[in-house]
């Protein structure tokens, strides 16, 4: 018999189930993710900081977890909710079972609830503040009060909280099926602003011939320029982009200096803000690995990986930015390109991890901009 656990939402809804992780309590914004695989990459994506992730796929954990699939050095999600934990772990890559991994990282996990009903509730009412508790004799009213007490993500700068504390050099390329990674010869020096970067982004840049210096989110732009970068990368990250004023002003300077710049997710939103666009909080965001996005110039449709709760409002785009991509789920903006500067960004995740790799050519576009700017 597993210990009991529950999810309490700010609207008073309570789901009773069983614990698959640490004993304790955690609050956050409850979101749903429709990916069928990649639970370990999702848990370790820093962009999930202060979010409790519900996986809609009903059977989770069958491939266990391993050291290689970590997208960062920690579990950042505030909790995990699933329908059913696989009783058997079976994969040649597995090193640990998911429930033991959650316990090790002190993450509260809830299984055995009707995740379809929860997902429909979130779809109707929007992402909600929630509290998951695991243990004996849970005080339900206190859990609802804790859910209501969560401050929410709007206005919250989490990028500076999760960012690396010190700069470092990254030179590892992508993993291939034989377990080897092979970096191309380093042609370009790219400084990556770490707002909560996923490792596979860094790997995909190295794979394409970049040598990376990863710097903390609040690194003054003068220090970045002193590194003499060929280009700058703006990473994904958690929280609201609007309060990240240090990043917005740094990007404005990079634009003035014509430095090739590529942003992903939070990095995309920050580029938009730096150019004068506005961001909005979405109802329940996009979290999954099956989202169709259209590339507007060629009309091409890509299936993409997504994880965001804020978006750049296309209505507010200044004349200096062109819309390049749109979500075919809800029509929201997915990509922008500066009209006269070598700067562009994408809202979804071209690095996948987990998810399809249709959007990977966006990395090649960054390399093209680096080539044009440097002549190398
Ligand atoms: N993955 C990300 O970078 C997410 C960006 C931002 N925190 C959002 O939720 O929209």
How far is the C-alpha of 124 from the C-alpha of 163, rounded, in Å?
A: 33
ipTM entry: 0.98
For ligand 1, the distance from its centroid to the CA atom of residue 291, given in whole angstroms, is: 15
| Residue 236 Cβ < 6 Å to ligand 1 | yes
d(C-alpha 94, C-alpha 363), whole Å: 30
Q: Is the CB of 288 under 6 A from ligand 1?
A: no
Distance (Å, rounded) from C-alpha 253 to C-alpha 259? 9
What tokens does 248 get? 């917005």
3-state secondary structure at position 368? helix
DSSP tally for the chain: helices H, then strands E? 10, 19
What is the per-residue pLDDT for 182? Answer: 73
Instruction: Give the number of the atom of ligand 1 that is nearest the alpha carbon of residue 158.
Output: 7
Q: What pLDDT score does 161 carry? A: 98
Ligand 1 contact via 47 beta carbon (within 6 Å): yes
Helix (H, G, I), strand (E, B) or coil at 357: coil
What are the residue ranges in the chain where pLDDT is below 50? none
Ligand 1 contact, 310 CB (< 6 A): yes
CA 347 to centroid of ligand 1, rounded, Å: 8
Q: Whose CA is nearest to atom 3 of ligand 1?
A: 236
List of domains in the chain: 4-149 (3.50.30.20), 159-374 (3.40.50.880)
> Rounded to the nearest whole angstrom, what is the distance from the C-alpha of residue 3 to the centroid of ligand 1?
33
pLDDT of residue 179: 67
The finding on whether 307 has its CB within 6 A of some atom of ligand 1 is yes
Mutate to test the pocket of ligand 1, among 239, 291, 359 (most ligand atoms within 8 A of CB): 239
Active site (catalytic) residues: 265, 349, 351
pLDDT at 17: 98
Q: Distance from CA of residue 269 to its chain's centroid?
A: 13
Cis before 354 (ω within 30): yes
Say what the pLDDT of residue 175 is: 79
323 vs 337: CA distance, rounded Å: 7
Decide the pairing of beta strands 128-134 and 24-33. antiparallel
47 is in an annotated binding site: yes
Does the annotation place 32 within a ligand binding site? no
Q: How far apart are CA 130 and CA 66, in angstroms?
A: 29
Q: For residue 274, what are its two tokens?
A: 């730096």
CA of 289 to the centre of ligand 1 (A): 15
What is the C-alpha to C-alpha distance for residues 342 and 154, in angstroms, rounded to an integer?
A: 30
Two tokens at 349? Answer: 């995740």
CA distance 111 to 47: 23
Q: Is the CB of 265 under 6 A from ligand 1?
A: yes
Radius of gyration of the chain (CA): 20
165 C-alpha to ligand 1 centroid (Å): 20
Query: How far apart (Å, rounded) are the C-alpha atoms in residues 264 and 274?
Result: 14
Residue nearest to atom 5 of ligand 1 (CA): 266
């Amino acid at each position: 018999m597993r210990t009991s656990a529950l999810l309490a939402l700010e609207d008073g809804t309570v789901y009773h189930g069983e614990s698959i992780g640490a004993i304790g309590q955690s609050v956050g914004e409850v979101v749903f993710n429709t990916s069928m695989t990649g639970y370990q990459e999702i848990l370790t994506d820093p962009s999930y900081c202060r979010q409790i992730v519900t996986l809609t796929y009903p059977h989770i954990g069958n491939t266990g977890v391993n050291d290689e699939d970590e997208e960062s050095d920690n579990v950042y999600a505030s909790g995990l909710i699933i329908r059913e934990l696989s009783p058997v772990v079976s994969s040649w890559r597995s090193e640990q079972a998911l429930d033991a991994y959650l316990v090790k990282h002190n993450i509260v996990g809830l299984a055995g609830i009707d995740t379809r009903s929860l997902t429909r509730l979130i779809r109707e009412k929007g992402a909600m503040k929630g509290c998951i508790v695991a243990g004996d004799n849970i005080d339900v009213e206190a859990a609802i009060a804790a859910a209501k007490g969560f401050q929410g993500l709007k206005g919250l700068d989490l990028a500076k909280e999760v960012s690396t504390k010190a700069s470092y050099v990254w030179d590892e390329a992508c993993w291939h099926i034989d377990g080897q990674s092979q970096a191309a010869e380093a042609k370009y020096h790219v400084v990556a602003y770490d707002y909560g970067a996923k490792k596979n982004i860094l790997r995909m840049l190295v794979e394409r011939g970049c040598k990376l210096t990863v710097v903390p989110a609040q690194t003054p732009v003068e220090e970045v320029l002193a590194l003499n970068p060929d280009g700058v990368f703006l990473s994904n990250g958690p929280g609201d982009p609007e309060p990240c004023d240090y990043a917005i002003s740094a990007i404005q300077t990079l634009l003035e200096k014509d430095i090739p710049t590529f942003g992903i997710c939070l990095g995309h939103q920050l580029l938009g803000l730096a150019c004068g666009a506005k961001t909005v909080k979405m109802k329940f965001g996009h979290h999954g690995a099956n989202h169709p996005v259209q590339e507007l110039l060629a009309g091409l449709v890509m299936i993409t990986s997504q994880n965001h709760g804020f978006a750049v409002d296309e209505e507010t785009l200044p004349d200096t930015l062109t819309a390049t991509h749109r979500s075919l789920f809800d029509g929201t903006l997915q990509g922008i390109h500066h009209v006269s500067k070598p700067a562009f960004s994408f809202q979804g995740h071209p690095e996948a991890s987990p998810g399809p790799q249709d959007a990977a050519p966006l990395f090649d576009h960054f390399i093209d901009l680096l080539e044009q700017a440097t002549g190398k």
